[in-house]
Structure 1
Amino acid sequence: IIGSPNEFTGDLAESFRFTDGGKKLVVTLRRGLKFSNGDPLDANAVKFTYDRLFDQGATTAALTKMAKVMGKDSVRVVDDRTVEFAVADPNPLLLGNMSQYGHSILNPNVVRPHMTAADPSAHEWLKSNTKGTETGPYLLESWQPGVEFVFARNPNFWGRPPRISRVVLRIVPDPSTRLALLKSGDVDIARDLAPLDEVGLLKDQGVSVNRFPTRIVSFLGMNAKVPPFNNVKLRQAISYAAPYDTIVRSVMVGFARRLTSPVPSGMPTHTDEFFKYKTDPAKAKALLAEAGFPNGLSLTFTSRADLAESKGIAIWVKSALARAGINVTINEMQGAAFTAALQKHDLVFFHHPGWNSINNDPFYHVFWLLQSACCDYTNYSNPEIDDLIRRFTISTDLSARADASRRIQQIAVDEAAWVFLYQPDLVLATRKNIGGVVYYPADVRFRYYFMTKE
């Protein structure tokens, strides 16, 4: 079963509605809600949670402000079951921005005693303590960092108890080991296997392979602030040299589809009408000459050493670009080092394995990847795109917003902001006796709550 990333339903909320022309969001909680320790979960707990978020001033507060709920004074307790959010400007982002992990409601009776001068938001304490704060179908029974998480049924969950009473989530870094454990029946579920192994499992009578499309974007990044990638012609040349179909066919073994825009397929306003790139070494050579490199050039390409697909992509990129006169040296980095360099914008020419925007909104998406200081990892910038993002991110003129999104896609494709590679499928391999696989495309997660084991 696949959920919808564009429809919102209540969990702790019995209902929610916009009033006053979209300037207020009124949320009514379910009756009798409790935290996992039995404490009541009421409107005061919601208010406490948002006060803490705004005091902390971290990412969740920024996302809430992005959707124009501007601070603690914008959150008001109406009665024990009702909370009102004041929205400075009506906008289409709020529900999507609120449907993210950081908005989990916390138990003030548990958290407040740990809000100290040294840890005013109890952030450090919460990194390793959850008891009494859980609200979902499971609670965290035990946790060994780097080894396993053990989840047990939450006796105070408001809904139907989960069918599986206990879930052990083991951390197994090596995909080949995960594969062996699944095939032997030592584990029931495995994910993030190598694509070739996933294909092999299709023939295994004891295993089911569940395959779902995603909105994850995977691309080759080119740091537009670092020569020669500040040259549009050079970026276009690489875009014509890239081995798109080979990567989808040979590296992803068909468990992916072509990415044809910065706004992925499955996201509102996506269009592939502007995409023009295909593997064409002659075209790439001509553009290299226009870029000032008639005799080719040498580049270093960085890939993830711990990801089979990233390693494979590096090999095919090196081979394909050589046919266009570009000599590529491969630099492999382990995951932690790669991520640290990515976040510092230190990578120059690299494979980005994937970004998923939890809010399935094109302007939320392009804001982070084409403009924000944190996540525009390629340092790409275009003044018209910047202006369109500024003007339309919170606009309620949906027609004009769609036109602006199409224009952003046109510019980013034309200027080769990235080398647009693919949208990977999400694959979950399970033993045949596991049922109830439900996939949420918004956060690219599965829910143990619905699963069954015969």
Structure 2
Amino acid sequence: MLKKFSWFCLMVLSIFILTTPAAQAGKANDTLSILHNIELSSVDNYFNTDRLGVVLCHHIWDSLLYRDFKTGEYKPNLATSWKYADSKTLEFDLRQGVKFHNGDEFDADDVVYTLNWISDPKNGVKSQQNVNWIEKCEKLGKYKVRIKTKKDFPAAAEYIAGVLAIYPHKYYAQVGPEGMAIKPVGTGPYRGVEVVPGKSITLAKNENYFAASPKGKPSIGKIHIRFISEVNTQIAELMSGRADWIWRVPMDQAEKLAKMPKITVETADTMRVFFLHFDAANKKGRNSPLNKLKVRQAISHAIDKETVRKTLVKGASQIIHSACYPTQFGCTDDVVKYEYDPAKAKKLLAEAGYPNGFEMEYYGWRERPEMEAIMGYLGAVGIKAKIQWMQYAAVRDKIRAGEVDMSHNNWGSYSIHDASAFTGNFFGGTADDNARDPQVIQWLQIADTSIDPEVRKKNYKLALQRIAEQAYCLPLWSSNMNYAYTKELNFTAQPDEIPRFFNASWK
């Protein structure tokens, strides 16, 4: 009865919205209206870790290379060719005739400045894992550069293609991260028109986008992104025609939207992995119960992951056992698997000194229904978990400060198809590493830097097996992504969770 009432309320809300002044959206205005549920902390590509930031990276900026999502091949983008001079040196010939959105000409100075600036720890780039492998970048000519890596780094091309946006050096030196966050400037298929912090971002087609780009020429004139946290409001906006495209739609809502004649619903698995992140290292010396292995193992046995996946996550999602996504290089599921066994969970708790369980806080910012289900499973074995629901950035900062016992975390690896982007990020001694296991860190350092694929696989496997044995985290499932959009739109979702609006068009 409650679900029927909620859907009826959505219908009423959409009718109400229709009576309010219409926002510019849709084919008639050549403006794609997009809704996103989390406010972006910064539009600057290097100062946010939200998925929307990755999406904007591919639309506003370009990288030296581009990874073809269909073939996995690296294609020339701002670079026209590249080669390894030796195992720690890459040389790139740069594309001539490319201009930034502000009219500045692109050349080697922009590449050298960008890569040297972001790889300097003093500048505080949010995801150090993405940049800390760079030793330096050198100019060899106006259209030629050399990138030196600190160690052998076989995944360099993957990171260069995925997350290393090139900035206009004169502009960025003048305005810095704060200025780039308000008025972003790149070479990409869309240019920033307006950024209203916490409310909206407006992009316009780059009419002068270089024809040789593997991304192709954009078709849609404008993209207007608004931040609306409530999914019911998002759905009402879509149903009323004030929005054209939404994602992260709960499965029960997606199933209803799929029956509506003017809306297309698309479901896809993604590289995003949800996991319980434990403070196993006791970073702040709080002597939390989760510092004990048997407690972490008990939690891992207490949760019926498959039932939660089937009833709440649904769709194309899959159960994950390792701290990585299955298609990433080096990932393996040949690890300890924690089957649902509440009796064993209670036994482990008693052995750990908590026969009557304990109380704890459980932090999260996505998947509230799934968190509530997990809270119920924990309660059944005596663990009273209280949900602390916050914005992502707030939870991230508390985790890094060692103030969170357990969080409902998730990671899309920046769509990097290499285990270093997940396993290395959370267990390689970074700010996000809540295990701080010297042996795991050593294995990951070898895996991340060896140029021998078999050595890499062997050491990732060793690290992943120990992570599972020590229950440093509990991988849950991959994210099922439900997209809902107007039938006037040609759009195709991809498993790397990067909607490519520069390839979309109106019907």
Scaled by the length of structure 2, the TM-score of the pair is 0.78
Task: Indicate the residue corresponding to 1:91 in structure 2.
Answer: 153
Which stretch has the larger CA shift, 257-266 or 348-357?
348-357
For residues 371-427 of structure 1, give each alpha carbon's deviation from its aligned partner in whole angstroms, at most 9, with x where no partner exists.
334112xx2233321221233321112112111111112111122111221111233
Tell me if structure 1 keeps the 8 A contact 2:411–2:422: no
Q: Alpha carbon RMSD of aligned pairs, Å?
A: 2.7
TM-superposed deviation, 1:141:
1.7
Aligned residue among 289, 313, 319 for 1:252: 313
Distance 1:263 1:98, change over 3 A: same
For residues 96-118 of structure 1, give each alpha carbon's deviation from its aligned partner in whole angstroms, at most 9, with x where no partner exists.
232344x3222244344x26xxx
1:410-425 to 2 correspondences below 5 Å: 410-425=465-480
TM-superposed deviation, 1:182:
1.2
Aligned residue among 429, 445, 453 for 1:398: 453
- For residues 470 and 119 of structure 2, the distance between their equivalents in structure 1, rounded to whole angstroms, comes to 38
Distance 1:88 1:231, change over 3 A: closer
TM-superposed deviation, 1:128:
1.6
- For residues 235 and 250 of structure 1, the distance between their equivalents in structure 2, rounded to whole angstroms, comes to 24
Aligned residue among 393, 413, 426 for 2:481: 426
Aligned residue among 74, 93, 107 for 1:8: 74
Task: Indicate the residue corresponding to 1:359 in structure 2.
Answer: 416
Tell me if structure 2 keeps the 8 A contact 1:221–1:352: yes
Distance 1:186 1:241, change over 3 A: same
TM-superposed deviation, 1:52:
3.8
Task: Indicate the residue corresponding to 2:360 in structure 1.
Answer: 300
TM-superposed deviation, 1:5:
9.1
TM-superposed deviation, 1:6:
5.0
**Match status 1:263 vs 2:324:** yes
Task: Indicate the residue corresponding to 2:268 in structure 1.
Answer: 212
Task: Indicate the residue corresponding to 1:26 in structure 2.
Answer: 91
Give SS of 1:146's match: coil
TM-superposed deviation, 1:206:
2.0
Which stretch has the larger CA shift, 263-272 or 84-93?
84-93
Give SS of 2:333's match: coil
Task: Indicate the residue corresponding to 1:58 in structure 2.
Answer: 124
Tell me if structure 2 keeps the 8 A contact 1:53–1:61: no
Distance 1:266 1:61, change over 3 A: closer
Distance 1:395 1:60, change over 3 A: farther
Give SS of 2:220's match: coil
Tell me if structure 2 keeps the 8 A contact 1:435–1:451: yes
Distance 1:61 1:192, change over 3 A: closer
Aligned residue among 69, 75, 90 for 2:138: 75
TM-superposed deviation, 1:32:
1.5
- Specify every segment of 5 or more residues in structure 2 that has no aligned partner in the other structure, as ranges: 1-67
Tell me if structure 2 keeps the 8 A contact 1:243–1:320: yes
**Match status 1:150 vs 2:207:** no
- For residues 372 and 88 of structure 2, the distance between their equivalents in structure 1, rounded to whole angstroms, comes to 53
Tell me if structure 2 keeps the 8 A contact 1:212–1:427: yes
**Match status 1:375 vs 2:435:** no
- For residues 27 and 410 of structure 1, the distance between their equivalents in structure 2, rounded to whole angstroms, comes to 38
TM-superposed deviation, 1:355:
4.7
Tell me if structure 1 keeps the 8 A contact 2:378–2:385: no
Aligned residue among 218, 224, 227 for 1:168: 224
**Match status 1:347 vs 2:412:** no
Distance 1:364 1:395, change over 3 A: farther
Give SS of 2:75's match: coil
Give SS of 1:214's match: strand
Scaled by the length of structure 1, the TM-score of the pair is 0.86
Tell me if structure 1 keeps the 8 A contact 2:268–2:315: no
Task: Indicate the residue corresponding to 1:200 in structure 2.
Answer: 256
- For residues 232 and 127 of structure 2, the distance between their equivalents in structure 1, rounded to whole angstroms, comes to 40
Tell me if structure 2 keeps the 8 A contact 1:235–1:416: yes
Distance 1:5 1:245, change over 3 A: farther
Task: Indicate the residue corresponding to 1:119 in structure 2.
Answer: none
Tell me if structure 2 keeps the 8 A contact 1:16–1:28: yes
- For residues 127 and 399 of structure 2, the distance between their equivalents in structure 1, rounded to whole angstroms, comes to 23
Q: Which runs of 4+ in 1 moved over 6 A?
A: none
**Match status 1:446 vs 2:507:** no
Tell me if structure 1 keeps the 8 A contact 2:379–2:385: no
Q: Give me the identity figure in percent.
A: 22
Which amino acid counterpart does residue 280 of structure 1 have in structure 2? D
Distance 1:147 1:258, change over 3 A: same
- For residues 386 and 308 of structure 2, the distance between their equivalents in structure 1, rounded to whole angstroms, comes to 16
Which amino acid counterpart does residue 290 of structure 1 have in structure 2? E
Give SS of 1:419's match: strand
For residues 39-83 of structure 1, give each alpha carbon's deviation from its aligned partner in whole angstroms, at most 9, with x where no partner exists.
32122332333344456643389557633x313xx41233x3222
**Match status 1:277 vs 2:329:** no
- Specify every segment of 5 or more residues in structure 1 that has no aligned partner in the other structure, as ranges: 116-121
Which amino acid counterpart does residue 411 of structure 1 have in structure 2? R
Distance 1:248 1:370, change over 3 A: same
